[in-house]
Amino acid sequence: MNDITRKNASLRTATATATVHCSATTLRMIQENTLPKGNLFDVARAAGLLGAKATSALIPHCHPVPIEHLGIDFVLEEAGEKARVVVKVFAQTVYKTGIEIEAMTAATVTALTVFDLLKPVDHELEISGVRLIEKTGGKADRKKLTGKGHTAAILVCSDSVSQGKRDDTSGKIIKAEVEKYEANVTDFKIVPDDIDTIQKQVRAWVAAGVEFIFVTGGTGLSLRDQAIEAIAPLLEKVADGIGEKMRHYGNERTPLAMFSRSLAGSIGKSFIICLPGSSNGARESLDAILPAIFHANAMLHGGGH
């Protein structure tokens, strides 16, 4: 099974369909509820629900997905001596991975059950058209949010790294993660954890029109953790939800994340994000907010409402 540990939960939906072809005479028996095995709709719908729930036990690479809503509807269509029962499934969840296989399994099992209920009276049945009509959430939606065309700069705030006593890891991780979304990292600086130095560099990037400034380090509680003290007074608007999102995501992985003072906000048309200095902290914080963070640029330019 693919590792989805780093993924964020989001609203996912899927619509699937399947068709059972039968005779017009059989269709009338369905409508009149005279089938020898009883009511078609109740039994087939129940089977589809059970099929959806059993998906992860049937399909090897499917994760167990919490199915928060599953609707199964039927459309009866007649054309001369031919007819068909169209099964339509809509599934919904808030989870880290999609629900399309569950929807298609439900459609398939429902169609098979319809087949089973009709076979005593119709010997020319056929199932066709099992397919996914639409899915939302996940990668498809994230593609709409990209760093392509945006500029970014990275500021590593660390006394030990700036003095050559320790290698930088968080800055390199941020650069790699941001570039995955095609943002153009135009500058990368390492400075001491000093308020005046940090502010001077951030102001220079704002003046140069850098759209996204990622600051890493100095978000803890030690005496030399001063990035937040440097950045907070410069911010014109604070995006509290971003800091909350990073801490919530981190807290699901380690209780130590609650000590992070990470924050984000805007200065003019530039957006600043303060991240932890540890490699895991920086990576997890970015997992929480990328690529959604790039929407800030549209908002700062008067769009995205």
Q: What is the pLDDT of residue 226?
A: 94
Planar angle of CA 250, 254, 258, nearest 5 degrees: 60
The C-alpha atoms of residue 216 and residue 208 are separated, in whole angstroms, by 20
Residue range 145-300 forms a domain whose CATH class is alpha beta
Per-residue pLDDT of the chain (305 residues; tens, 9 = 90+): 889 888 888 899 999 999 999 999 999 999 999 999 989 999 999 999 999 999 999 999 999 999 999 999 999 999 889 999 999 999 999 999 999 999 999 999 999 999 999 999 999 999 999 999 999 987 656 666 788 899 999 999 999 999 999 999 999 999 999 999 999 999 999 999 999 999 999 999 999 999 999 999 999 999 899 999 999 999 999 999 999 999 999 999 999 999 999 999 999 999 999 999 999 999 999 999 999 999 999 899 886 54
- In 3D, which of 225, 241, 305 has the Cα closest to residue 273? 241
- Can you give the pTM of this predicted structure? 0.76
Q: Which of 42, 73, 116, 240 is catalytic?
A: 116
* 141 has catalytic annotation: no
* Fold agreement between 10-138 and 145-300: no
Give the end-to-end CA distance of the chain in Å, rounded to a whole number. 38
Token duo for residue 51: 């099929």
10-138: CATH class? alpha beta
Residue 144: the pLDDT is 65
The 8-class DSSP code of residue 259 comes to G
Tokens (6 digits) for 46 = 């129940």
Domain ranges of the chain: 10-138, 145-300
